[in-house]
């Protein structure tokens, strides 16, 4: 997603970015409620069996939807933290003001903002990152990441369940999709190609083990 008239990054310089560290996707959500909510949503369509009445199914579905919103919000926190770290890294990275760095590249760096990294990780991350997500079972990276960014652009912390309308909860996917589009259009940005960016993606426990192993070897 980009503003009209903004071209892809022309520089051949490789950006070495901080690692993207993701905490458990459920954000502390009750896995049972997530599954129960999904089944309750399918029952009225005849795609799942349930003896419960429609009102009960609706309540179970909304409870599950709320847990999904929580899950995406916490994932969004991790993505926003990484996007902010990337901007700080590019703006204050070594060599930024060296004579070898042309004026055009310095101007490009000034146009690299959080939305630049959001677009890259959602639309076309490096192959190694995409493959690792697929190995984790994330088959719809674009939908999950864009909605996580959209939800977190709306909420800093999980709102109370009773503060969200049933209309929002039932259709939060659409609200999150449009929130992501609004967020991407809230600032002009320089799109980044995956070939010009290098970073690793880790689960939080995996990254903690790497740090622990590194310290034990010193």
Chain segment 2-38, per-residue pLDDT in tens: 443 344 444 557 889 999 999 876 555 555 555 555 5
Neighbours of 61 (CB within 10 A): 22
Decide if 183 contacts 110 (C-beta within 8 A).
no
Q: Is the dihedral of CA 128, 130, 133, 139 positive or negative?
A: negative
pLDDT of residue 63: 87
Neighbours of 195 (CB within 10 A): 12
Q: Are strands 15-16 and 197-198 parallel, antiparallel or unpaired?
A: parallel
Mean pLDDT by 10 residues, the chain (218 residues): 43 83 68 53 47 72 90 95 95 56 67 95 94 92 97 96 94 97 96 92 85 57
pLDDT of residue 5: 37
Q: What are phi and psi of 149, to 5 degrees?
A: -65, -40
Decide if 25 contacts 71 (C-beta within 8 A).
yes
pLDDT of residue 32: 58
pLDDT of residue 109: 75
CA-based nearest residue to 161, from 61, 45, 79: 61
SS3 content of the chain, % helix, strand, coil (to 5): 60, 5, 35
Domain ranges of the chain: 15-27+70-217
- Predicted TM-score of the model (pTM): 0.79
Spell out a b/e string for 97-126, using b for 16 or more CB atoms within 10 Å of the CB, else e. eeeeeeeebeebbeebbbbbbbbbbbbbbb
Decide if 18 contacts 86 (C-beta within 8 A).
yes
pLDDT of residue 3: 44
Q: Which residues contact 193 (CB under 8 A, 6 or more apart)?
A: 8, 9, 120, 124
């Amino acid at each position: 997603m980009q503003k009209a008239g903004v071209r892809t990054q022309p520089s051949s310089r490789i950006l070495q970015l901080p690692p993207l560290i993701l905490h458990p996707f459920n954000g502390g959500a009750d896995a049972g409620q997530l599954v129960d909510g999904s089944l309750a949503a399918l029952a009225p369509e005849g795609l799942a069996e349930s003896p419960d009445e429609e009102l009960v199914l609706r309540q179970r579905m909304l409870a599950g939807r709320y847990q999904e919103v929580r899950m995406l919000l916490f994932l969004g926190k991790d993505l926003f933290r990484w996007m902010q770290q990337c901007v700080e890294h590019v703006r204050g990275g070594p060599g930024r003001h060296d004579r070898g760095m042309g004026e055009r590249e310095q101007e490009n760096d000034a146009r690299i903002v959080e939305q630049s990294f959001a677009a890259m990780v959602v639309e076309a991350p490096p192959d190694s990152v995409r493959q690792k997500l697929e190995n984790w079972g994330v088959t719809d990276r674009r939908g999950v990441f864009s909605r996580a960014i959209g939800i977190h652009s709306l909420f800093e912390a999980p709102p109370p369940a009773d503060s969200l309308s049933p209309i929002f909860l039932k259709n939060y996917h659409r609200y999150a999709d449009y929130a992501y589009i609004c967020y991407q259009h809230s600032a002009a940005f320089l799109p980044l190609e995956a070939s010009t960016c290098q970073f690793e993606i880790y689960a939080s426990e995996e990254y903690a083990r790497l740090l622990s192993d590194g310290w034990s070897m010193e």
